[in-house]
Amino acid sequence: MRVPYEKMYNEFVRVLLKYGFDKEKAEISAKLYADASRDGVYTHGLNRFPKFIKSIHDGIVDIHAEPVLKESFGAFERYDGCHGPGNLNAYACTKRAIELAKQNTIGCVALANTNHWMRPGNYGLMAVEQNCIGIFWTNTVPNMPPWGGRDARLGNNPITLAIPHGDTPVLVDVAMSMFSYGKLEVYKRSGRPLPVDGGLNKNQQPTRNAAEILETHESYPIGYWKGSGLSLALDLIAAALAGGRTTRQVGELPLETELSQVFICIDLDSLPDKENIAANVEATLRDMETSTPVEEGRPVHFPGTHMAEVRSNNMENGIPVEEAIWQQVLAL
């Protein structure tokens, strides 16, 4: 089943207005959700929307809250998210980080007391549209064991790195686990096995069964021990810069909230060699694509290429949806 972009966007706006958002915020939030699905990140677009509405019901999200400036240190600012909608808080902080970068070449905003930011790639795309490099990450509830452990003590702490490159920016958008929990839920609903081992089951055996990993919360970190260490570092830096909770402290709450996030933008227009930088990016990407593919007919491509192809197809033919989730939204 496919749904036109405008229809999906309009349904999101309708529901958000019904739940008390003002028109401007409803339109921004709806666009962030619809853009995620348009670009193929279905787990953090339509699929996540009913959960967001539930978080409002559960009192986790204050739809009227906005980020409040706590402290300013030149090109670095700290904000309190005041339990507001995670995607709107992240949108506002990205805009501010871009403004700081345009003033100072680099801008950093750290955000405490916020909620799930949905698809972080949206904020990377905001940065590259202003010819900025974007580096953004968040901590999460404990949902991944440290390497060598069995109990979830780390978050899978997603990070996004975005680099301007015309209409096809480089966009790396990854969690610190082999598979995000949204992706695991998709595989569970479909009954399909994961393409590679994603974690451990209750018998401590490697498994490609997403349902088993969702049961144990013993997801493999990316790069095994390396991803475990990177997750820890991202968590500690985010909490330190934001003056907010670490993953451990988030885990002390009854539900995932009060997250710490970092938004860094670097303005390439401020650099005297920006043309040379752009040429080097282009040359590097073209060189990468000349690598002999392992599988014939599947050439090597850089992160962001596939997104552009999916976006074009989905805008032309409609966005693929899981019908049961689409019906949930229509019923809201």
CB-based contacts of 40-44 (< 8 A; 24+ apart in sequence)? 40/306, 40/307, 40/310, 40/311, 40/314, 41/119, 41/121, 41/173, 42/186, 42/319, 42/320, 42/321, 42/322, 43/180, 43/182, 43/183, 43/185, 43/186, 44/118, 44/119, 44/182
* Pair type for strands 76-80 and 106-114: parallel
- What ranges in the chain are assigned the alpha helix state H? 5-18, 23-38, 49-57, 86-104, 121-129, 181-190, 210-216, 225-242, 247-250, 274-289, 305-317, 323-331
Active site residues: 44
Please tell me whether residue 320 adopts helix, strand or coil conformation. strand
